[in-house]
Structure 1
Amino acid sequence: MTSFIPVNTPLLDGNEAEYLAECVRTGWISSEGPFIKRFETEMARVAGRRHGVAVTNGSVALDIAVHALGLEPGAEVIIPTFTIISCAAAVVRAGLVPVGVDCDPGTWNMTVEGVEAAITPRTRAIMLVHIYGLPVDLDPILTLARKHDLKIVEDAAEMHGQTYRGAPCGSFGDVSTFSFYPNKHVTTGEGGMILTDDDALSDRLQSLRNLCFQPQQRFVHEELGWNARMTNLQAALGVAQIEQLPRTVELKRKLGRLYDEHLEGVAGIRRPVARTNYADNIYWVYAIVLDDDVPFDAKEAMRRLAEKGIGTRPFFWCMHEQPVLRRMGYMLDEAHPHAERIARRGFYLPSGLALTEAEIARSAQALKEILA
């Protein structure tokens, strides 16, 4: 029987076991161990930031980051409609209004034209979300933000080690966030990070992630925060993973090249854009969009690939089509045809760091067979 190739398997072949054993040996397994500050410092260095605040996951990183900006209730925040629900949820939970923007059909990222058209007198922030391996084209959007005095929340969850015009992704927001889920280039199992250069904002983020305990009288609270502390065990994993990040980026780009070689000239699919004038693809995942003349959608393609032992995962579903947001009255009059199309016709192939060249070849061959 042919073995199943999962969509992701992490690579844990550095100092992970040694650092975890140190946590157990010293008893530092809670959120107060020494690996946490070390991880925060190293992640801030990678992203070119002054401060890193480690939290339990990337979604709560967005929740705390948006909340910490202190935007007035009912203010609008522009987000890509093609993204994960965490982005819209963070906006809604902060009492703000998400406004969606369509994506570029090639890079799958939000466009400056869409952002500019979405700005109103009620807009207070833009949430930039880098998608699947290429960053958003930042310069023109940052120019718009300065012109309209808008805050920037940068979701770099998938962009560890990626750059925009040579500057690290994660360095561009008033607040920027990362995720460390097992499919990320740096994983802590679960985990997230908020980064900023603002000293006062960093202090606020640290308070919010720790239930807003006060140094003078711990259990008297002036504000409601989160219990979102990362453990020393998770941070130990993160430190070991950051040590491997240059190799990880190299491996991911090799994965992309190998898939490209196997799928060169295959009809019926759109492969990831390899490079733009501002970045080379980091291939967080190797993603495919079916052409319109393919007589089935992504859901059916994934079913057929599963029968051949190939793990896949669908693209994000559009925020303006999310039942929960529509029931709440958000994004009701929006239509974003590029995002709607790729949500239905896009999926990604096995893309984990532990993927072998033989598994890449087998995954590509299976895709060719279902398209034949």
Structure 2
Amino acid sequence: MIPLCIPEIRGNEWKYVKDCIDTSWVSSVGSYVDLFEEKFAEYVNGQKAVVTMNGTAALQLALVTLGIGEEDEVIVPSMTFISPINTIKYVGATPVFCDCCRDTFVMDAEKIEELITPKTKVIMPVHIYGHPVDMDKVMEIAAKYNLYVIEDATESLGSTYKGRMTGTIGHIGAYSFNGNKLITTGAGGMLVTNDLELGNRAKYLSNQTKTILDNKGCYHEEMGYNFRMPNLLAAFGVAQLENIVEYIKAKRKNAAYYNELLKDIKGITLSGEREWAENCYWLYSILVEDDYRLSRDELMAKLEEEGIQTRPFFMAVHEMPPYKECKHGNMSVTKELCSRGINLPSSVSLTKEQIETVCNVIKKYSK
């Protein structure tokens, strides 16, 4: 089996985790928690990083930190993992769905403004599969209407927009360290902001709003959340972060080889990379068009028969039962992408021979 995307563990993971165990600092307090936040903020060039138990928690924490709640609306793409949409509901707000770009698969920034109402408080671009949203346009609209921007960068760690790391351009960014992400802590996430006041507020909220009194008692001024990451996982993350540059190089090299082998196959459309973007290619993605011999699902079945694991694009969330009543614009591109898109094997450890195997199967069934 050629897996879709598995973690790469090649550095100091065992050493740092063992240090946690040897010193008994295994829970949510410990030196690796602070070090992971510090090193991560340094890597993405952000002012403040706050570790969380997963990417979903980082997104919810971002919304809570900004005071988003009942009666508020958040503009978000429909073609995404459901996590960002769920977090909007967690805080009592309402998602409003925006269509996507056909070439990059991300939220179409040109279609945001038509969805804004007096209730709109946040734009939440999702840098799906690694490609950045057009953040200049997003920030221009946000400034015009006095809106917050929360970047869902859970799939785009290492991607850049005009030289800036995704997740650091809006008011707050959120990242994920799930097992299939570019770097992993098994489970975990990170909130990042360049606004120190927001960052300190997020850290306070994530730790049950705990204040330690002189007598060592715990005092809580307001309701908080237990979104903390254990020191064990943070230690793993510090080790992973040490190799992130090499991981991104491998991902981009693999994507370039896919592009070379697939570019001339009739009926297969490759993902685009805008001139202002550098995609980390968390997952390498293609579209199966009408002039390919097989449908998208038929091709996936053939790949599976050959021992190649793939995944269809995320289904449109606005068509799912919990969100069918939510407002949205014209979703024609989203609908098309969801029916045509395939994610191909994208592990850091993917070999040229494995890429050739995948591409040969795709080529075999072309017209």
What range is the shorter-chain TM-score in? over 0.9
Residue in structure 1 matched with residue 284 of structure 2 by the alignment: 286
Residue in structure 2 matched with residue 228 of structure 1 by the alignment: 227
Letter in 2 for 1:312: T
| Offset at residue 53 of structure 1 (A) | 0.5
Check conservation: 1:9, 1:355, Cα contact below 8 A. no
| Offset at residue 233 of structure 1 (A) | 1.4
Distance in structure 2 (CA, Å) of the matches to 1:215 and 1:73: 31
Partner SS for 2:362: helix
C-alpha root-mean-square deviation of aligned residues, in Å? Answer: 1.7
Distance in structure 1 (CA, Å) of the matches to 2:307 and 2:176: 28
Partner SS for 1:176: strand
TM alignment of 1:25-36, pairs within 5 A: 25-36=22-33
Which of 109, 112, 120 is residue 109 of structure 2 equivalent to? Answer: 112
| Offset at residue 197 of structure 1 (A) | 2.4
Letter in 1 for 2:249: E
2:318 is aligned with 1:302: no
TM alignment of 1:179-258, pairs within 5 A: 179-216=176-213, 221-258=220-257
TM alignment of 1:346-361, pairs within 5 A: 346-361=341-356
Partner SS for 1:132: helix
Distance in structure 2 (CA, Å) of the matches to 1:219 and 1:347: 50
Residue in structure 2 matched with residue 262 of structure 1 by the alignment: 261
Residue in structure 1 matched with residue 322 of structure 2 by the alignment: 324
| Offset at residue 97 of structure 1 (A) | 1.2
TM alignment of 1:117-136, pairs within 5 A: 117-136=114-133
Check conservation: 1:305, 1:370, Cα contact below 8 A. no
| Offset at residue 129 of structure 1 (A) | 1.1
Letter in 2 for 1:149: N
> 1:299/1:157 Cα in 2 relative to 1: closer, same or farther (>3 Å)?
same
Check conservation: 1:320, 1:334, Cα contact below 8 A. no
| Offset at residue 179 of structure 1 (A) | 0.5
Partner SS for 1:9: coil
2:338 is aligned with 1:338: no
- Provide structure 2 residue ranges, at least 5 long, that are not aligned to the other structure: none
| Offset at residue 243 of structure 1 (A) | 1.0
Check conservation: 2:99, 2:108, Cα contact below 8 A. yes
Which of 141, 158, 161 is residue 138 of structure 2 equivalent to? Answer: 141
Distance in structure 2 (CA, Å) of the matches to 1:334 and 1:143: 20
Partner SS for 1:270: strand
> 1:129/1:37 Cα in 2 relative to 1: closer, same or farther (>3 Å)?
same
**How many residue pairs end up in the alignment?**
365
What is the TM-score with the length of structure 2 in the denominator? 0.94
Letter in 2 for 1:186: I
Distance in structure 2 (CA, Å) of the matches to 1:293 and 1:370: 11
Partner SS for 1:371: coil
Distance in structure 1 (CA, Å) of the matches to 2:78 and 2:129: 14
2:88 is aligned with 1:98: no
Distance in structure 2 (CA, Å) of the matches to 1:198 and 1:281: 25
Seq. identity, %: 38
Letter in 2 for 1:226: Y
Deviates more, 1:144-153 or 1:107-116: 107-116
| Offset at residue 338 of structure 1 (A) | 0.6
Check conservation: 2:27, 2:232, Cα contact below 8 A. yes
> 1:255/1:218 Cα in 2 relative to 1: closer, same or farther (>3 Å)?
farther
> 1:268/1:71 Cα in 2 relative to 1: closer, same or farther (>3 Å)?
same
Which of 65, 69, 72 is residue 66 of structure 2 equivalent to? Answer: 69
Partner SS for 2:359: helix
Residue in structure 1 matched with residue 364 of structure 2 by the alignment: 369
- Provide structure 1 residue ranges, at least 5 long, that are not aligned to the other structure: none
Residue in structure 1 matched with residue 15 of structure 2 by the alignment: 18
Letter in 2 for 1:106: D
| Offset at residue 311 of structure 1 (A) | 0.3
| Offset at residue 91 of structure 1 (A) | 1.0
Partner SS for 1:129: coil
